[in-house]
């Protein structure tokens, strides 16, 4: 007869198991962070940590957003556009309307959730390929952002910018909150459904999982996170800019791939996405301190995607 573990013990073991295959990533990350701290001792101070996490934070958010979609076997080309829409909505609703900060941010995130949910519905119910649907929605969402604000403008209240991007690690705190929220969601049937639907959609369907709902939920959460990244970017720059999010689409894919999610879905974790985005952010900084030109970043991102997928493939073949 087996020893029946307590519920908490089982939950803890399940969480721990999800780290498998990511130890290498975490080790690499620790080494790079150490190298970065060595090159730039200023990192190890409140201000250093605050500044670094503020640069990294939007990428971390879109990496989580992209991972959720890629888990479902899709890819989201509209993430950058959604971030852009988020900035212009924030700069309009929060800075220059009667809604106030709380309602304005909520409304912005809600619009992101709705946009993501709509895309997810089209993908899940009509079976259209995600790459096409999100390409189309990137134009729709990007166009909507340009309609709201044809050129950069609007404003964010000073206290909000100070709160989010001042010399204190608010960004880190929010990121930890998001990770905790995901852990809670993952401990619900819906969260489990999202993972199962990404891993084996046909099998999950046959097991009675509402796969369509899981897909829509993943896209909706993804849209909300991208819009919130927009709010944060608006606070950083003090204004809305419909085009500012565009480079984030590719960065989110790079970070998600680094974090372990493949182009065919399944096997991604949210902590992997965060780690992947952190690796990307640290690499960029390390390259800067090593005196490499900014253009080298693009070359590096390309190499990273191929290398990350290649290593994963080799490992699967060895198994």
Partner 1 sequence: MSNAAPVLAAQGLVKRFFGNPVLKDVSIEIVPGRVHALLGENGAGKSTLVNLLSGVLSPDEGRLLVDGQPCARLTPALARRHGIAVVQQELSLAPHLSVVENVALGAVPTRRGLIDYRRLAVEVGRVLDRLGLDVALDQPVEELPLGRRQLVEIAKALYRQPRVLILDEPTSSLTAHEVQALFKVLAELKREGTALVYISHRMNEIMHLCDWVTVLKDGTRTADRTMDGIDPPALVRLMVGREPGDLFPPFRSTTRDEPALEARALTAPGVGGVDLVVRQGEVLGIGGLLGQGQEELLLALYGALDAQAERLATGGVDRPSRNPADAIGRGLAYVPADRKREAVLLPLSIGFNLTLPGLRRLARRGLRRFAREAEVARELTAKLNVRGGGPERAVQLLSGGNQQKVALARWLPLSPKVLLLNDPTRGVDVDTKREIYLRLKGMAAGGMAVILLSSDALELVHLCDRVLVFRDGRIAADLPHGQASEEAIVAASLGVARQEAA
Q: What mask of x and - would describe binding to partner 1 in positions 14 to 43, judged by CB under 8 A?
A: x-xx--x-----------------------
Residue 235 · residue 156 · CB < 8 Å: yes
What residues numbered 249-268 form the site for partner 1, per CB under 8 A? 266-267
Segment interacting with partner 1 (CB under 8 A) among 6-14, 224-232, 237-245, 274-282: 6-14
Site string for partner 1, 158-197 (x = CB under 8 A): --------------------------x--xxx--x--xx-
Cβ distance to partner 1 smaller for residue 3 or 151: 3
- Which one among 206, 247, 290, 314 touches partner 1, defined by CB under 8 A? 206
Under the criterion CB under 8 A, does residue 54 sit at the interface with partner 1? no
Q: Is 106 one of the binding residues for partner 1 (CB under 8 A)?
A: no
Q: 3-state secondary structure string, the chain?
A: CCCCCCHHHHHHHHHHHCCCCCHHHHHHHHHHHHHHHHHCHHHCCHHHHHHHHHHHHHHHHHHHHHHHHHHCCCCCCCHHHHHHHHHHHHHHHCCCCCCHHHHHHHHHHHHHHHHHHHHHHHHHHHCCCHHHHHHHHHHHHHHHHHHHCCCCECCCCHHHHHHHHCCCCHHHHHHHHHHHHHHHHHCCHHHHHHHHHHHCHHHHHHCCCCHHHHHHHHHHHHHHHHHHHHHHHHHHHCCECCCCCHHHHHHHHHHHHHCCCCCCCCCCCHHHHHHHHHHHHHHHHHHHHCCCCCCHHHHHHHHHHHHHHHHHHHHHHHC
Q: Is 67 in the site for partner 1 (CB under 8 A)?
A: no
At 157, list the tokens. 């209240």
Say whether residue 44 binds partner 1 (CB under 8 A). no
Q: Is 200 in the site for partner 1 (CB under 8 A)?
A: yes
* 317 makes contact with partner 1 (CB under 8 A): no
Applying CB under 8 A, which part among 205-213, 214-222, 281-289, 305-313 lies near partner 1?
Answer: 205-213
CB of 14 to partner 1, least distance (A): 5
Please identify, among the stretches 124-132, 163-171, 198-206, 294-302, the one whose residues bind partner 1 according to the rule CB under 8 A. Answer: 198-206
Among positions 94, 124, 144, 209, the unique one binding partner 1 when judged by CB under 8 A: 209
Binding footprint of partner 1 on the chain (CB under 8 A):
1-2, 4-8, 10-11, 13-14, 16-17, 20, 184, 187-189, 192, 195-196, 199-200, 202-204, 206-209, 266-267
């Amino acid at each position: 007869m087996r020893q029946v573990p307590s519920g908490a013990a089982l939950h803890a073991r399940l969480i721990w198991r999800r780290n498998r295959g990511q130890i290498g990533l975490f080790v690499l990350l620790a080494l790079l962070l150490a190298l970065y701290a060595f090159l730039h001792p200023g990192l190890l101070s409140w201000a250093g940590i605050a500044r670094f996490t503020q640069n990294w934070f939007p990428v971390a958010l879109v990496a989580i957003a992209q991972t959720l979609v890629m888990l479902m076997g899709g890819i989201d080309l509209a993430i950058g556009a959604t971030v852009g829409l988020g900035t212009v909505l924030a700069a309009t609703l929060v800075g220059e309307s009667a809604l106030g900060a709380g309602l304005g941010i909520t409304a912005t995130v809600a619009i992101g959730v709705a946009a993501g949910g709509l895309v997810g519905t089209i993908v899940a119910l009509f079976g259209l390929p995600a790459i096409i649907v999100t390409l189309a929605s990137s134009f729709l969402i990007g166009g909507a952002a340009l309609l709201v604000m044809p050129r950069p403008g609007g404003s964010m209240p000073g206290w909000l910018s100070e709160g989010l991007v001042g010399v204190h690690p608010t960004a880190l705190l929010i990121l930890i909150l998001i990770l905790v929220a995901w852990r809670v969601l993952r401990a619900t049937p819906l969260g489990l459904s999202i993972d199962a639907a990404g891993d084996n959609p046909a099998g999950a369907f046959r097991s009675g999982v509402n796969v369509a709902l899981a897909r829509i939920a993943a896209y909706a959460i993804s849209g909300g996170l991208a819009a919130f990244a927009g709010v944060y970017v608006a606070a950083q720059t003090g204004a809305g800019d419909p085009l500012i999010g565009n480079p984030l689409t590719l960065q989110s894919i790079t970070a998600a791939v680094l974090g372990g999610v493949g182009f065919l879905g399944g096997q991604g974790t949210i902590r992997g996405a965060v780690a992947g985005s952190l690796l990307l952010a640290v690499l960029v900084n390390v390259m800067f301190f090593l005196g490499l030109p900014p253009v080298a970043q693009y070359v590096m991102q390309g190499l990273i995607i191929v290398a990350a997928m290649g290593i994963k493939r080799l490992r699967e073949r060895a198994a």
